[in-house]
């Protein structure tokens, strides 16, 4: 596809409206009815015209409530209304503040209060209940919009009171703040009727250097930090992406959109679909896998576990030709652009797809960099890297290997946190990513680890734990692995298994027999991993931990990243007990001794 006409820097809703007349009758989204699964006859179409009208109406609703720069939060799972609310908000100069649906009440309260959100868009009774729980702590919220207009807000409030949860003291006056999405649309359309031309004037007046969204970092330690991103920050990154990858996407492309829009990854995919005129089948993290062979997408952006699950049936074939045939069948046979993000995809899986003619690319970046700094691409890729630096970005390595970035895609500083902002930049203005990397001789970036997570052993060796933990990521039997050993003579690990997968492999075992089989399974994997590590990096002992890591226990972030500091704190007795076992055997002479 020729993307030349889409390379200007503009606010996201403008791309939708600039192409609306020519695309208005085309399908933008196919939305599954409840229980639709892969039955496409139970999907409802939303045309570009329908979508544009909804965005326009939301903007009209917000026009009298928000001034340019005011913030509104969206606390909801994916939906067309989520996208409409975000773009309508940006069209009137507002700032989108996504709140992860998995957020605990304390996390939600912090995001809403810290961001000074005036409006909250919320969906599902469960999330509305959570919002009611925190509203007494949030003084800025003036309006709550129910994205599902059928929710009985009074019934949810009554249930909250009966449960005795915090917020149960809320009076019925809180209901006066609530507006259904249907009523918001009606009010917005009435505003347009009363103010002809005002929408276009307001949208065209939005400054591209003003914040368009503010995302909160995962907060693996302490409170999350608010990251304001300007329209120029995000637009610059989008332009680089379009220049490098847009030509791979065919006209009228189809994608399966399941990535949460509360993450910049998912929000970016939705907006790229608007720019390129794509048709998106809305899905979820579970259903998207079975939907792929049915809708035969041209574009699929996902996470490593999905690429692994899609490949699994084909990898079980013994004949190379049969493997390719099976892979084409389960991916639909039309994939033109494939992206994997969120974590590293194993080299074996990438090689397997590539042998069948499917290139899966990975990149690297952070929320603060809008988000991408480097990306593999069709004409320049290395599977042992996260790609080359994007055209509009500057990246270099500090003396200690930390990756530093500068450019129009890099944010200016954290919201209400001058100290963190000062700490995040060098004196000459380079953003400190906190990641350690190295460049290959041909210009590809490789990630070594998070700088702050490097362990220093008793022998003075610096060990990046993620470099060890990532070697378990491609194995579906392992949910989480946390390496421990700061100041110790050797390293140990906590192992959290994916029980259904392990049980399916081991069969119907129980008691001591099952325990022994699980230990043997883990030991074999640990031995395999250790084989490629320097002796001081190897895992000498491990514990299989049955207590799950959850968001509720604050052991995972809202975006499901491990809170290492908290995990170590909670399970420290388990880790320490591993050092009370008999001393590990000395490394065999074949082990590496330097790294």
pLDDT given for residue 533 in this prediction: 83
* pLDDT tens by residue, the chain, 595 residues: 899 999 999 999 999 999 999 999 999 999 999 999 999 999 999 999 999 999 999 999 999 999 999 999 999 999 999 999 999 999 999 999 999 898 888 889 999 999 999 999 999 999 999 999 999 999 999 999 999 999 999 999 999 988 888 676 788 899 999 999 999 999 999 999 999 999 999 999 999 999 999 999 865 456 789 999 999 999 999 999 999 999 999 999 999 999 999 999 999 999 999 999 999 999 998 899 999 999 999 999 998 878 988 999 999 999 999 999 999 999 999 999 999 987 778 888 999 999 999 999 999 999 999 999 999 999 999 999 999 999 999 999 999 899 999 999 999 999 999 999 999 999 999 999 999 999 999 999 998 876 767 787 876 677 878 879 988 987 889 999 999 998 888 999 999 999 888 998 998 888 999 999 999 999 999 999 998 887 888 999 999 999 999 988 989 887 778 888 899 999 999 999 999 877 555 544 334 433 3
pLDDT at 560: 79
Convert the pLDDT of each residue in 452-504 to its tens digit: 677 878 766 778 788 799 889 878 899 999 999 988 889 999 999 998 889 98
Is residue 346 within 8 A of residue 383, CB to CB? The reply is no
What CATH topology corresponds to 9-216?
A: Rossmann fold (3.40.50)
CATH of domain 454-580: 3.30.300.30
What local confidence, expressed as pLDDT, does residue 478 receive? 93
List Cβ neighbours of 316 (8 Å cut-off, separation of 6 or more).
none
- pLDDT tens-digit map of 28-65: 999 999 999 999 999 999 999 999 999 999 999 999 99
**Cα dihedral value 537, 538, 543, 548, nearest 10:** 50
pLDDT value, residue 222: 61
Query: In whole angstroms, what separates CA 286 from the centre of its chain?
Result: 15
Q: In degrees to the nearest 10, what's the CA dihedral of 363, 366, 367, 373?
A: -60
The topology (CATH level 3) of 237-286+294-449 is: Rossmann fold (3.40.50)
Q: Which of these, 246, 252, 268, lies nearest to 371 by C-alpha position?
A: 268
35: its two tokens: 């229980």
Spacing of C-alpha 564 from chain mean position: 18
pLDDT attached to residue 594 = 38
Domain with CATH 3.40.50.12780 in the chain: 9-216, 237-286+294-449
Judge contact between 61 and 185, C-beta under 8 A: yes
Q: What is the pLDDT of residue 116?
A: 98
**Coil vs helix vs strand at 129:** helix
- Tokens standing for residue 556: 């995972």
Range(s) of the chain covered by CATH 3.30.300.30: 454-580
Q: Do 138 and 112 touch, CB atoms closer than 8 A?
A: yes
Rounded CA gap, 539 and 558, in Å? 29
What pLDDT, on the 0 to 100 scale, is given for residue 453?
A: 75
């Amino acid at each position: 596809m020729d993307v030349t006409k889409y390379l200007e820097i503009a606010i996201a809703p403008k791309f939708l409206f600039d192409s609306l007349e020519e695309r208005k009758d085309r399908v933008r989204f196919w939305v599954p009815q409840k229980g639709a699964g892969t039955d496409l006859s139970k999907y409802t179409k939303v045309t570009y015209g329908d979508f544009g009208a909804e965005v326009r109406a939301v903007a009209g609703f917000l026009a009298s409530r928000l001034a340019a720069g005011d913030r509104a939060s969206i606390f909801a799972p994916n939906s067309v209304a989520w996208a409409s609310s975000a773009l309508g908000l940006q069209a009137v100069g507002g700032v989108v503040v996504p709140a992860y649906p998995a957020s605990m009440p304390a996390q939600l309260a912090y995001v809403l209060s810290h961001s000074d959100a005036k409006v909250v868009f919320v969906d599902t009774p469960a999330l509305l209940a959570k919002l009611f729980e925190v509203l007494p702590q949030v003084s800025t919220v003036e309006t709550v919009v129910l994205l599902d207009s059928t929710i009985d807000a009074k019934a949810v409030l009554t249930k909250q009171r009966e449960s005795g949860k915090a917020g149960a003291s809320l009076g019925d006056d809180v209901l006066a703040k609530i507006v259904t999405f249907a009523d918001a649309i009606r009010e917005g359309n009435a505003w347009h009727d009363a103010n002809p031309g005002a929408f276009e004037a307001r949208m065209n007046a939005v400054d591209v250097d003003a914040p368009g969204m503010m995302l909160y970092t995962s907060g693996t330690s302490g409170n999350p930090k608010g990251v304001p991103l300007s329209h120029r920050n995000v637009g610059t990154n989008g332009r680089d992406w379009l220049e490098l990858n847009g030509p791979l996407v065919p006209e009228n492309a189809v994608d399966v959109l399941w990535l949460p829009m509360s993450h910049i990854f998912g929000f970016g995919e939705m907006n790229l679909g608007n720019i390129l005129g794509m048709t998106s089948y809305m899905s979820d993290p579970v259903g998207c896998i079975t939907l792929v062979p049915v809708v035969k997408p041209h574009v699929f952006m996902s996470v490593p576990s999905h690429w692994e699950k899609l490949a699994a049936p084909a990898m079980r074939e013994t004949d190379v030709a049969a493997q390719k045939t099976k892979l084409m069948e389960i991916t639909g046979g039309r994939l033109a652009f494939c992206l994997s993000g969120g974590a590293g995809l194993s080299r074996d899986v990438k090689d397997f797809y590539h042998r069948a003619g499917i290139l899966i690319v990975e990149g690297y970046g952070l929320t603060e960099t809008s988000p991408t700094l480097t990306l593999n691409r069709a004409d320049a890729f290395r599977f042992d890297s996260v790609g080359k630096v994007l055209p509009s970005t500057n990246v270099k390595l500090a003396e200690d290997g930390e990756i530093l970035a500068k450019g129009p895609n890099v944010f200016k500083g954290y919201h209400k946190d001058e100290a963190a902002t000062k700490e995040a930049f060098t004196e000459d203005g380079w953003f400190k990513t906190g990641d350690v990397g190295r460049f290959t001789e041909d210009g590809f970036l490789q990630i070594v680890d998070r700088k702050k997570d490097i362990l220093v052993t008793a022998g003075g060796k610096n060990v990046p734990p993620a470099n060890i933990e990532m070697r378990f990521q491609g194995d579906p039997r392992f949910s989480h692995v946390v390496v421990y050993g700061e100041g110790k003579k050797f390293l140990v690990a906590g192992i959290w298994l994916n029980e259904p997968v392990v049980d399916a492999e081991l069969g119907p075992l129980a008691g001591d027999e099952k325990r022994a089989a699980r230990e043997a399974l883990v030991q074999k994997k640990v031995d395999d991993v250790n084989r490629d590590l320097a002796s001081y990096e190897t895992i000498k002992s491990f514990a299989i931990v049955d207590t799950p890591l959850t968001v509720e226990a604050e052991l995972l972030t809202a975006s499901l990243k491990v809170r290492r500091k908290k995990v170590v704190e909670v399970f420290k007795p388990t880790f320490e007990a591993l050092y009370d076992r008999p001393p590990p055997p000395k490394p065999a002479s074949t082990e590496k001794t330097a790294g």
